[in-house]
Amino acid sequence: MSVVLVSPNGELKVSAWTWGPLHDLVAAAGIMPAELWEMARYNCSAELDEEQAAALADFLESRILARLGDGARLLADGTVTDVADDGAFDRDDLSKNYSVRREMLVRIIDFLRAARGPVRVD
């Protein structure tokens, strides 16, 4: 399962394991209208206008990427680790399955910055 970001320039697939923590952090920060951002969590075709896509990129870069060094990842609880994801599925604590790798976050930010138009979250 994944979320797909779609812009006039193309699309970027983001795994649900990555999108979940990012979505929660953006929701907690309140930088997007709540009714719009809630739809973006569950593949309900939320659409960000160009200004919202730029604001999202700014937030991700300044508030999240700034905390992640090379090889680091952001965990679902907002903490940062440099321990690589071993890919094991944790059934006892599902939150351990969610994380955002720095490399993927850079790809998302670059995609949002290059969009030059609305970005649909499918």
Q: What tens digit of pLDDT does each residue of 30-48 get?
A: 999 888 888 887 766 789 9
Tell me 96's DSSP state. Answer: G
Residues 101-120 have a mean pLDDT of 94
Residues 78-83 have a mean pLDDT of 87
Instruction: Check residue 44 and give its pLDDT.
Output: 67
Q: Where are the domains of the chain?
A: 2-121
Helix axes 50-59 and 102-114, enclosed angle (nearest 10): 150
Nearest Cα to Cα of residue 65 among 32, 14, 102: 102
- How many other β-carbons are positioned within 10 Å of the β-carbon of residue 77? 11
Beta bridge partners of 101: 73
**Gap between the Cα atoms of 84 and 119, Å rounded:** 30
3-state secondary structure of 34: helix
Instruction: Check residue 43 and give its pLDDT.
Output: 61
Q: What tens digit of pLDDT does each residue of 50-78 get?
A: 999 999 999 999 999 999 999 899 988 88
CB 109 within 8 A of CB 86: no
CB 30 within 8 A of CB 23: no
Q: Does pTM top 0.85 for this prediction?
A: yes
